[in-house]
């Protein structure tokens, strides 16, 4: 079951000739771009052409057949029978932490140094490296599906700046970038991001919106990030005791479009995930933006809030398409998709009606002659209302023929 590129020793699968656990390779490729990960791993023979068997080994959990597991993998925790955090701590002699003098003592034989108690409590059970390997494999094999795209938003003139104030999760920054790319927004500013900037993990979460990640600017404070902007709106779910215009996302976008057309620069501010913007920060804005939400559950995910504004932006600028457009998929318009078949003509409809009615007559469907006319009218009205295409009428006629003259009964004596 093992790949020639994976060796097993002392119960751990490792990349042959390097000593690296397979999980370390998967982790690096998942956290960073493949090119960056391979450069940092620095295994001479490991490149984009040879890494696939290593990833496949993990993705298909071939380690189970080899009775081997990687450090930090959930499969190892399960194999050791550790079901709770207390059992995990007890399996070590001592656990210390990088950010404090705190330590935990157990009855086991191993020593562990963790980032923090909070981080350990979230990660002790191990990572699902096989799931990460599958994601990396999909990108390696299929890439980011983007035909006829240049890595930049569609040209549509000036766009507003989006400001994320003290974002706490770098994954959320990536998802914001993805939402911006979906709706033609390109300027992103970050105020004191908790996990630092630049950060490759954001690029992974952006799912191809790299032009936004590459162009994002980071600022140490809120006010410096407002430099160069003439009009700023602040998003919030909480009411503020401030004398300011309160706008819906639709009204805010209309305001920004008008000002951008006049040569002004506009921005819209989003607060940190946990508590949102502080009132002092909202006070620096020209207007407040609030969306219509369930009053008892008003808080939005950061990327969701950006998505609302982005959707209104694309809707009003008219630069979007319904769904993706590729070399094989042309733009479509709202309404019935007829799959290339034109609506049926009246002559085709009449021919179908006559065919159906003649077969119904032959089968004795019309048992009451005096009601035949009204039943026929209802049938015709029903089929006209469906707005059938030429192909659908041909299909219906084929169904009527098959029901009236079943192949299995041809030539049989009743």
pLDDT above 50 for 146: no
Calpha distance 192→325 (Å, rounded): 37
Residue 238 lies in a domain: yes
Residue 154 lies in a domain: no
pLDDT above 80 for 350: yes
User: Which residue is listed with tokens 């210390």?
Assistant: 96
Compare 359 and 207 and report the one with higher pLDDT: 359
Mean pLDDT of 8-33: 85
**Average pLDDT of the chain?**
86
pLDDT of residue 359: 93
Same domain, 167 and 311: yes
Mean pLDDT of 71-100: 89
Same domain, 67 and 133: yes
pLDDT of residue 248: 96
Residue where a domain terminates, one of 106, 138, 170? 138
Among 45-54, 264-273, 334-343, which stretch is predicted with the lowest mean pLDDT? 334-343
Same domain, 367 and 290: no
Choose from 28-32, 190-194, 314-318, 323-327 the range with maximum mean pLDDT.
Answer: 190-194
Same domain, 59 and 130: yes
Same domain, 171 and 311: yes
pLDDT of residue 409: 57
pLDDT of residue 144: 43
Calpha distance 343→396 (Å, rounded): 14
pLDDT of residue 414: 46
Among 37-46, 71-80, 139-148, 154-163, which stretch is predicted with the lowest mean pLDDT? 139-148
Same domain, 180 and 126: no
- Cα–chain center distance at 247: 28
Alpha carbon separation from 177 to 169, 192, 196, 254, 398 (Å, rounded): 13, 17, 16, 22, 51
Same domain, 168 and 271: yes
Same domain, 30 and 96: yes
Residue 281 lies in a domain: yes
Same domain, 51 and 193: no
pLDDT of residue 145: 42
Mean pLDDT of 314-328: 73
Compare 322 and 306 and report the one with higher pLDDT: 306
Same domain, 124 and 20: yes
Give me the number of domains the chain comprises.
3
Residue 153 lies in a domain: no
- 274: confidence class by pLDDT, cuts 50, 70, 90: confident
Residue where a domain terminates, one of 138, 173, 206? 138
Choose from 149-163, 196-210, 277-291 the range with maximum mean pLDDT.
Answer: 277-291
Same domain, 195 and 249: yes
pLDDT above 90 for 411: no
Same domain, 59 and 186: no
Choose from 139-143, 207-211, 246-250 the range with maximum mean pLDDT.
Answer: 246-250
Structural domain harbouring 203: 161-317
Is pTM beyond 0.75? Reply is no
Q: 164: exposed, middle or buried (C-beta count within 10 Å: 0-12, 13-18, 19+)?
A: buried
Residue 170 lies in a domain: yes
Residue 101 lies in a domain: yes
Extract the tokens encoding 289.
């933006």
Residue 146 lies in a domain: no
């Amino acid at each position: 079951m093992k790949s020639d590129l994976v060796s097993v020793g002392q119960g751990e699968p490792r990349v042959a000739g390097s000593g690296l656990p397979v999980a370390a390779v998967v982790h690096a490729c998942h956290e960073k771009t493949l090119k960056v990960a391979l450069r940092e791993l620095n295994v001479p023979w490991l490149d984009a052409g040879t890494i696939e068997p290593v990833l496949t080994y993990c993705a298909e959990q071939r380690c189970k057949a080899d009775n081997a597991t990687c450090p930090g993998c959930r499969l190892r925790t399960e194999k050791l029978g550790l079901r709770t955090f207390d059992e995990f701590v007890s399996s070590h002699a001592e656990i210390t932490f990088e950010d404090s003098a705190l330590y935990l003592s157990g009855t086991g034989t191993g020593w562990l140094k963790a980032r923090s108690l909070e981080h350990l409590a979230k990660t002790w059970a191990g990572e699902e490296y096989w799931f990460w390997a599958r994601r990396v494999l999909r990108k390696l094999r299929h890439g980011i599906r983007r035909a006829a795209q240049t890595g930049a938003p569609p040209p549509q003139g000036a766009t507003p700046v989006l400001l994320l104030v003290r974002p706490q999760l770098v994954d959320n920054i990536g998802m914001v970038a993805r939402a911006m790319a979906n709706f033609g927004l390109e300027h992103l500013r970050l105020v004191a991001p908790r996990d630092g900037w630049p950060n490759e993990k954001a690029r992974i979460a952006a799912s191809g919106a790299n032009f936004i990640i590459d162009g994002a600017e980071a600022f140490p404070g809120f006010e410096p990030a407002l430099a160069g902007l003439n009009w700023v709106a602040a998003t919030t779910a909480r009411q503020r005791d401030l004398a300011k215009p309160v706008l819906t996302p639709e009204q805010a976008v209309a305001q920004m479009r008008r000002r951008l057309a006049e040569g002004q620069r506009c921005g819209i501010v989003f607060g940190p995930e946990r508590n949102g913007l502080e009132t002092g920060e909202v006070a620096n804005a020209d207007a407040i933006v609030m969306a219509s939400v369930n009053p008892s559950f008003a808080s939005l995910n950061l990327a969701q809030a950006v998505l609302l504004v982005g959707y209104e932006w694309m809707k009003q600028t008219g630069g979007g398409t319904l769904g993706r457009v590729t070399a094989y998929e042309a733009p479509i318009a709202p309404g019935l998709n007829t799959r290339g078949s034109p609506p049926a003509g009246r002559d085709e409809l009449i021919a179908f009606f006559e065919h159906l009615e003649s077969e119904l007559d032959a089968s004795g469907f019309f048992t009451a002659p005096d009601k035949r006319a009204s039943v026929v009218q209802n049938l015709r009205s029903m089929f006209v209302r469906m707005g059938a295409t030429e192909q659908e009428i041909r299909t219906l006629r084929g169904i009527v023929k098959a029901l009236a003259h079943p192949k299995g009964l041809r030539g049989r004596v009743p």
